Structure 1
Amino acid sequence: MRDALALPAWVVGLSLLGVGSLAHDAGFPAGAAVLSTFLIWAAPAQVILFAGAAAGTALPVLAVAVCLSSIRFLPMTMTMLPLIRRPGQGLGFQAFAAHYVAMTLWVEGQRRLPGIDPEDRPAYYLGFGNACILLSGAATALGYHLVSALPLPLAAAILFMTPIFFTIALVGGARTLADGLALALGAGLAPLATLVVGRDFDLLAVGLVGGTIAYIVGRRARRRRA
């Protein structure tokens, strides 16, 4: 919890301020806004929920949209859970731990967990995750009550903190040639992908192309060293 509150929890928490204000504009009570953070734990999916509800979208359609928007967490979960899985853990605990997986937890977990004793990793992971979620819930409530109170430049700066933090954390955690190449290709190909496939599929295209190239180059480099 101390490590999370040193910076990461504040970064993800500040990004939830906007979700609180959106829930207010959509006519939801503050409790529903905070509960959405605890249960959905993904700002884009929460935006889909509240914006869709405000537009009159049917709840079953919103439920499907929220689920589809969270599919991006599946690869993160597949690489995170092996780091905290211990002999004797039941499926229930692993499902519970999977709920905490988000961009912040994934980036920091990949960077911090390998250096922690395997027996201590589940406790560290849950402590880190709970600190992030609790602070984000408080930020959601704060955003709900501060709706329209923040100046536009300040609100934009707060939102911009999140991608900047993730970028710095990913660069700092890059340990192999494939890691560095994936980051470089992602940054370099993003503008081109936006022009070629549009803003709806640019991140998917960059991830598939850049990630595949980085994986192939990294695999060949490991074979040469072997």
Structure 2
Amino acid sequence: MYTVTLALRRDGNPSALPDPYGLAQRRADRRDATLLYWVGYVAACGAVYDGPVPTVVLDVDPRDVPHVETMLQDLSERHLGCEFCQSSARGLQAYIRDRDLGRLLLHWGIPGGDRTGSVPLRFVPAALLPHFVRGYLEGGRGTPPFGTRTTPSAAASIGRVVFEGPPAFLETLRKALRPHAEGQGTVAVRRDGTGRLTYTGRAASRVVRFAYRDAARSLPRLDRLRQTLRASGHAARSGRLRPRRRG
């Protein structure tokens, strides 16, 4: 049973999210970094239910309701409505009913109601991969490091990073992250067919550092983590931090 708990409304004009094929024809800029963050976020926690008016449905952490309002402002300049409902099966969900946004997200590969498939990583320019990965991590409700009760304040304190999704997508993501993580990551498939890509130890920390390079958009509750990462990155560039030797 669903109970409407909150409604958001906004006025404006057409979609700000580019078509994936249009993005491939030009040089990406900082605004695209924000938009690709949201593609990753929706890919992790959402689905598009097709119909006369396609509906984007997101599984939302209750702490992150204001973050969804920011998403509405970033992804579209037209009038959008968003209802927050409590599902007995999936917890808090956001419903966004907009024909153009729904169909565009389907073009990006956001799954339909069966929640199979995901964004083809060939749609994501290499320069924007950190932003997509950061969005996917932050959209993962219930998975480490940000979907659990405790919010980490430093990359070194993150011992485990988990991506959930279709196994084929996770294998492609694992290959894309291979140059940026010390460790291959492991993909396990559950009985229901869903997969989990897991990084532990130093590899988990390196994945987080990669994802938070120049974080154009991120969850407000991760402010302290971003500040710590910026400070450690600045110190490393200044020569105050030296990488540890292997051996």
TM-score (norm 2): 0.25
- Quick one: higher RCO (CA 8 Å, sep 6+), 1 or 2? 1
TM-score (norm 1): 0.27
Flag the structure with higher strand content.
Answer: 2
Q: Which has the larger radius of gyration?
A: 1
Flag the structure with higher helix content.
Answer: 1
